[in-house]
Structure 1
Amino acid sequence: MLKVENLSVHYGMIQAVKDVSFEVNKGEIVSLIGANGAGKTTILKSLSGLVKPSGGSMTFNNEDLTKKSAPAIVKSGLVQVPEGRHIFAGMTVMENLELGGFIHNNHDEKKEILDYIFETFPVLKERLKQDAATLSGGEQQMLAMGRALMTKPDLLLLDEPSMGLAPIFIREIFHIIERINKQGTTILLIEQNANMALKLSDRGYVLETGQVVLKGSGKELLESEEVQKAYLGG
C-alpha cells in the first residue's frame, strides 16, 4: 500500500531524514518510534505533501506521492492527524467534522460516515454544538481523529496521539486505534509511548537522528534489548 525508499529531507543545510526506507501493507498497524528530533514528524509531513523531500521515493497505492499536492494526497486516501491535534477553535464540534468531510458531495455518504464517527466516538455526538476549544485534551484528540476519518481514508497517519493526555485517555485512544484498524483502516503510527505502540503494532521501525536503526515485528522490537534500554526503561 505505502512504500518509502531512501527518503531524504533537508531543512536548509540540516538533513532531518537520511535514506529512510519502510513499507506499510494493507490492514496493518505500523509504528515509527524514536526520540524527539529523530525525524518521525518530518516523514509524515513528507507523506502528506507538506514537506518536499530532497531525495528518494514515496508511493501510495502505486501512485507517486512526490508529484501530488497535499489536497490531492488527501483525496487519494492518505490522511494525517497532526501532532497537537490542531482542532479549529471558535468552531463547533460539528463544524470541525464537516470540514473533514470536504471531499464528499453526496449527502447520504456524509451521513453514513458521520454515523460511523458517532459510533466510534460517542462523546462527540454529545458535544456537537460545543466550541471545540472547550473539549478536554482527550476529547480534542478524538475530534481530530474523527475529522480525519470523515475522508474515509485508506491509510491514517497518527502523529503522537497520546501526547499530553491523562493515562485513562491514553488507554482509550489506543483502544480506539485498534478498533479503527479492525474496521478496515490501515494505520501508520508515530508515538513516544513505545510500549503501547509496539504492543498494538504488526511491525515497527526505530529511528535515530533521521535513520532507521532497527525494524521488526512489534513483538520482536518489544523484546529487543536495545529498545528496552532506550525506550522501555529496561
Structure 2
Amino acid sequence: MALLKVTDLSVNYGVIQAVKKVNFEVNAGEIVTLIGANGAGKTTILKTISGLLRPSGGTITYEDQEIQKYKSQKIVAAGISQVPEGRHIFPGLTVVENLQMGAFLRKDRDGVKNDFDMVFERFPVLKERRNQDAATLSGGEQQMLAMGRALMSKPKLILLDEPSMGLAPIFINEIFDIIQAIQKQGTTVLLIEQNAAKALSIADRGYVLQTGNVLLSGTGQELLANDEVQKAYLGG
C-alpha cells in the first residue's frame, strides 16, 4: 500500500523544466532512495512534496489525499517532515530549542517529552550538548540535530536530502545506521543521497533520475548490480 504516490509530477523554475512527469511511490515502512547526478531534480522533488515548491503538473498523494496544493505547515501536521540539504539548524538557539522547533505544531506535551527522551537516547551527543548553541556543533552533530528535530514532529514519512554531504567518513556510517534505526522504529524514509552505493545498500527500493526523468527503478540490490548504475554512479 503506497503511503506516498507521485504521479506525472512536473516542476518548473521559470522557463526551465526541472522535473518532467516523474512517477514513483513509497510504501509504508520502506526506505526508498532517489539517486542521480546534480541537476537531476532530486531536491526539487523533495521540496515539492514538502510544500516549499508548487508543481506545474501532476499529483502527490499521501495517505490517499492529494497534497500538492497544501501549505508546508499542513503537510508537516499530516506527518511528513524534511531534513533539508545543508542541515539548516537554527544558530543562536540551543540544541534543546532547535528540537523544540521540530515539535512546534504538537499539543501532546507528554508525547513531546517522550520524544525528547527518544532523541537523546538515539543521539547521546545531543544530550551532552543540549544547552550549547547549535552553531558550535560539528557538521556530523548538526546533521544529527537536524534529524532529531525532524523526528520531534513525529513524522510517518521523513524526507532526507543529502544527509551525508560534507561529513567525515566516521559520521557517514553513523548517519546511515541511524536511518536504518529510524526505519525499524516504524518511520518511512525517502532518501536523496550522492553516495549512491551507501544509499542503495540500505534501500528497499530505488529510482534513478536523469535530467528530471526516472530512468531506472528496482530494489536497492538490483540497482547496485546494474551495469548502467555501476558505470554512472558507483565508479564501476
Provide TM-score, normalisation by structure 2: 0.98
Structure 1: 4+ residue segments shifted above 6 A:
none
Residue number in structure 2 paired with 1:63? 65
- 1:115-150 deviations in whole A, cap 9, x for unaligned? 111111111100010000000000000000000000
Tell me the secondary structure at the aligned position of residue 172 of structure 2: helix
CA displacement 1:34-83 (0-9 Å, x = unmatched): 01000000000000000000000100001111121110000000110000
Q: CA deviation at 1:105?
A: 1.8
For 1:21 and 1:103, the matched residues in 2 are separated by: 30
Amino acid of the structure 2 residue aligned with 1:61: E
Q: Which runs of 5+ in 1 are unaligned?
A: none
Residue of structure 2 in register with 1:122 after alignment: 124
Q: Percent identity over the alignment?
A: 68
Alignment partner, residue 181 of structure 1? 183
**Aligned residues between the structures:** 234
Aligned residue runs from structure 1 range 81-92, under 5 A: 81-92=83-94
User: Residues of 1 paired with 2:57 and 2:29: CA distance?
Assistant: 28
Aligned counterparts of 1:64 and 1:121: Cα–Cα separation in 2: 34
> What CA deviation, in whole Å up to 9, does each residue of 1:159-180 have, x standing for no partner?
0000000000000000000001
The aligned residue for residue 43 of structure 1 is: 45
Unaligned stretches of 5+ residues in structure 2: none
AA of the residue aligned to 2:78: S
Task: Measure the CA separation in 1 of the matches of 2:86 and 2:135.
Answer: 13
Q: 1:106 offset after TM fit, Å? A: 2.4
- Aligned residue for 1:119, secondary structure, equals helix
Matched residue type, 1:19: K
Is 1:221 the counterpart of 2:226 in the alignment?
A: no
Q: Which structure 2 residues correspond to residues 29-40 of structure 1 after superposition, within 5 A?
A: 29-40=31-42
Match in the other structure for 2:21: 19
| Corresponding residue number in structure 2 for 1:99 | 101
What is the SS of the residue equivalent to 1:9? strand
Residue in 1 aligned with 2:174? 172
More moved, 106-115 vs 22-31: 106-115
CA distance in 2, matches of 1:67, 1:190: 23
Q: 1:138 aligns with which of 122, 137, 140?
A: 140
Q: 1:226 & 1:37 partners in 2: Cα distance?
A: 18
Q: How far apart are the structure 2 equivalents of 1:125 and 1:97?
A: 11
Q: How does 1:150-165 map to 2 (within 5 A)?
A: 150-165=152-167
Task: State whether residues 54 and 69 of structure 2, in contact with CA within 8 Å, keep that contact through their aligned partners in structure 1.
Answer: no
Q: 1:109 and 1:218 mapped to 2: Cα distance?
A: 34
Which is worse superposed, 224-233 or 98-107?
Answer: 98-107
Deviation per CA, 1:4-51: give whole Å up to 9, x if none: 000000011000000000000000000000010000000000000000
Counterparts of 1:65 and 1:163 in 2: how far apart (Å)? 29
Deviation at 1:92, TM superposition (A): 0.3
- Counterparts of 1:183 and 1:214 in 2: how far apart (Å)? 29
CA RMSD, 1 decimal: 0.5
Instruction: State the match for 1:233 in structure 2.
Output: 235
Name the aligned partner's letter for residue 162 of structure 1.
Answer: S
Q: CA deviation at 1:185?
A: 0.3
Does structure 1 residue 202 correspond to structure 2 residue 204? yes
Query: Residue 19 of structure 1: SS of its match in structure 2?
Result: strand
Query: What SS does structure 2 have at the residue aligned with 1:66?
Result: coil
